[in-house]
Structure 1
């Protein structure tokens, strides 16, 4: 059965999803797992377009416990999270594969880092153009417009493209 913008696989009771199902959201995030009364209920996994995933136990659409795994395999822990904290600033790839030799910096967890379009910033889930105030994902698809608070945060904290024709240096 097809639903506009989404894919359902499973059985329906009173036009609601029941049992094991696959549900694809308009954002291309995919849920695979148990459903009851049209809600995530039981064991299920959200697969994100970035390659990350969220394995969880759901009750009436709400998470009761879960584990987030980034695309590179790093697992998020909601308690005792020590990744990239004040005691250990290494990226996950540096923890797994070791540090670079002295004088060679690793600017992001992705090595080499993504090439940022000229005049834009890498804000973690895509590139931000401060002139248009538009954030597009890494595949150049529209994500959102930045409000004033996000605009200021990106300018203050995110990595900006280095323009080689000027004396401007990359923001570290």
Structure 2
């Protein structure tokens, strides 16, 4: 698949989603998202960041209408690599993600502002330690 010149477009999908940013045309003539761009879904979810192969790939920020957001690395439109996810209640996880899941070393800030660090795996976080600020 050889790609040619980068184009800047503004496109509204049939479902109401909107994309503004860079793209390119494949050798088959198909236009795919590649480069920097912003996509806003009809439900109000917004992604601003890097695209490759028509998916969220690279660094970006995904914001939900609930107030939740993720900022960090993406691979194939999933949270993957280093990032921060903030929940609508203000609690926050900063660390490593693997295919949309907390995976590896990270820190979780609870609703009282206490920071817990340790290893995370799927929905488990065994052996967390409270970080004490002195």
With the length of structure 1 as denominator, give the TM-score of the two structures: 0.44
> How many Å apart are 1:18 and its aligned residue?
1.1
**Cα gap change, 1:68/1:11 in structure 2, threshold over 3 Å: closer, same or farther?**
same
Alignment size in residue pairs: 86
Q: Give ranges in structure 2 of 5+ residues lacking alignment.
A: 1-9, 26-30, 95-101, 114-134
> How many Å apart are 1:80 and its aligned residue?
5.8
d(CA) in 2 for partners of 1:33, 1:51: 18
> How many Å apart are 1:64 and its aligned residue?
1.8
1:68 corresponds to = 85
| 1:3 aligned onto 2:13 | yes
- For CA contacts below 8 A with separation 6 or more, give which structure has more relative contact order: 2
> How many Å apart are 1:24 and its aligned residue?
1.2
d(CA) in 2 for partners of 1:12, 1:38: 8
With the length of structure 2 as denominator, give the TM-score of the two structures: 0.55
| 1:55 aligned onto 2:66 | no
Q: Give ranges in structure 1 of 5+ residues lacking alignment.
A: 84-91, 97-172
2:131 corresponds to = none
SS at match of 2:66: coil
Which of the pair is proportionally richer in strand? 2
SS at match of 2:90: coil
d(CA) in 2 for partners of 1:41, 1:53: 17
d(CA) in 2 for partners of 1:29, 1:12: 20
Which of the pair is proportionally richer in helix? 1
Superposition RMSD in Å: 2.2
